[in-house]
Amino acid sequence: MYGNTVVNAPNLERFAEQSTVFSHTLTTSPVCTPYRGCLLTGRYPSQTGVLENGQALPDDAITFAHLLNDAGYDTHYVGKWHLSGDPQQNRWVPPDKRGGFQHFIGWESHHVDHYAGLIWADNPDEALQMDGHETDGLTELAIKQLHLASKSDNPFCMVVSYQAPHPPCSPPEEYLTYYQDAGLLLEPTADKSAYYNRPEWNADYDVETFRQLYFGEITHIDHAFGQLLETLEDLNLADNTLVIFTSDHGEMAGNHSLFGKGVMYAEALHVPLMIRYPRQDQKYHSDVVASTVDFLPTILDYAGCNPYPYAEGCSLRSQIEGTASISSQAIFSEYHNFCVVSEDFKLFTKARTLQPIALYDMVTDHYEENNLIDDPQYDKIKQNLLKQLSDWHKRVIGETIT
């Protein structure tokens, strides 16, 4: 559904035919923890104060769980949390660090061994070993939570947060069979000599092997997602449930000779976003650039809640239902560098100095091979984007860069 002809994902492809597919969705921060803080609050990392992995969501942060609780919803969270602060490890998450979710079964972070992951509910001394690969074990737990939610008289909201696909990547053998042949490096920026080496994760392999493992875990997630959709059907919940499929960030996977995330290249910054509204009877496609900050307003809109005045984004409902267009808006992302996307161009700058370091034409240069930052033909576009980023920076962070 996003143009990749190699990855096997039949359940996601079927889901795409039933939903609205957003072609251009950018994470507000291409790393785990800052993204999660933004997802839950609808506010940028600089506003939540969650700027790096391992930082805790502030105790006074209002999340969509709090707002839905007030509206009479049962709120559930299943899986990786990564918002309760250090230590970043496979451990229990205390109730006061769970962002308002009423029903919580999860862990803080870092299941490096996907076959040895532990998960906790309310007792820190009662860890549950998930069966098999954590993707399978987590899916079983999520299905149990869906059964629990279906028995309540209240509407529900559930987040299912998988860690995989995530290096060092260890999918079950059956999901590797799709990727045994060579030919996985299709992008012009893919570095065939790139090598992934993380001794602390027992990961030491070339880029082709990395992609075989990573793509295998994507196919594994596809199978898990199919099970969740099937459960919604079996419980007669599918026709009145909004389903959102997305991710916190991408993976460089050897493009531009890089692995991991945390950079402003498209492979790390762009994320999938497919949303199926209740009783959707046709596929829609949206070219509007969407952002993580749009998720909270969208969820509240469909839940029948009042808008949250401190949320930064806007509801995507008109795009989801194909009823109207959202006017063009600038999209911002922040981590060690900053990024603004507007009017088919993308500018990123060196950290909080806002020193421009790259400008790309997103229409003609999908793989970001041609940096236009020093091309005088694009000076006006560069200055316009830089002003939008500077104005955003001043408003969100409260600093003026001179």
Q: What is the mean pLDDT of residues 46-65?
A: 96
pLDDT for residue 402: 41
Q: Is the dihedral of CA 384, 386, 389, 393 positive or negative?
A: negative
Q: 219: alpha, beta or left, given left = phi > 0 and alpha = psi -120 to 50?
A: alpha
103: confidence class by pLDDT, cuts 50, 70, 90: very high
Would you state the pLDDT for residue 325? 66
Residue 343's pLDDT is what?
78
Token code pair at residue 348: 């990123």
Q: 189-199 pLDDT, tens per residue?
A: 999 999 999 99
Q: How confident is the model at residue 323 (pLDDT cuts 50, 70, 90)?
A: confident
User: Distances from the Cα of 316 to the Cαs of 207, 250, 279, in angstroms?
Assistant: 37, 22, 17
| CA gap 270, 292 in Å, rounded | 11
pLDDT of residue 229: 98
Indicate the SS3 state at residue 269: helix
Mean pLDDT of 377-402: 87
Give the H or E element holding residue 390. helix 379-397
Q: Under 8 Å CB-to-CB from 172, ≥6 apart: which residues?
A: 132, 133, 136, 216, 220
pLDDT value at position 398? 78
Q: Supply the pLDDT for residue 52.
A: 96
Q: In the 8-state DSSP scheme, what is residue 254? A: T
Choose between 352 and 148: higher pLDDT.
Answer: 148
Q: For the chain, give the mean pLDDT.
A: 94
Closest to 145 in 3D by CA, of 92, 244, 82, 75: 75
pLDDT at 353: 85
Task: Determine what percent of the chain falls in helix, strand and coil, rounding each to the nearest 5.
Answer: 35, 20, 45
Query: Could you tell me the domains of the chain?
Result: 10-326 (3.40.720.10), 337-397 (3.30.1120.10)
Q: What would the mean pLDDT of 168-186 be, rounded to a whole number?
A: 91
pLDDT tens track for 215-266 = 999 999 999 999 999 999 999 999 999 999 999 999 999 999 999 999 999 9
CA distance 288 to 89: 37
Lowest mean pLDDT among 182-186, 313-317, 395-399: 395-399
**Interval 116-135 mean pLDDT:** 94
- What pLDDT is recorded for position 327? 63
Q: What is the mean pLDDT of residues 50-65?
A: 96
Query: What is d(CA 360, CA 290) in angstroms, rounded to the nearest whole number?
Result: 18
Burial 230-240 (b: 16+ CB within 10 A, else e): ebbeeeebbee
C-alpha distances out from residue 234 to 91, 143, 227, 239, Å: 33, 11, 10, 11
**Cα–Cα distance for residue pair 110/82, rounded to 1 Å:** 9
Contacts of residue 331, defined as CB under 8 A and 6 or more positions apart, other chains included, come to 26, 289, 290, 291, 340, 341, 342
Q: At what angle do helices 10-17 and 207-234 cross, to 10 degrees?
A: 50
pTM across the whole model: 0.95
Encode burial over 272-290: b for 16+ CB neighbours within 10 A, e otherwise: bbbbbbeebeebbebebbb
Confidence check: pLDDT of 401 > 60: no
Q: Give the residue-averaged pLDDT of 134-160.
A: 97
The pLDDT assigned to 399 comes to 58
| 250-to-76, 253, 271, 337 alpha-carbon distances in Å | 25, 9, 6, 16
What SS3 class is residue 95? helix
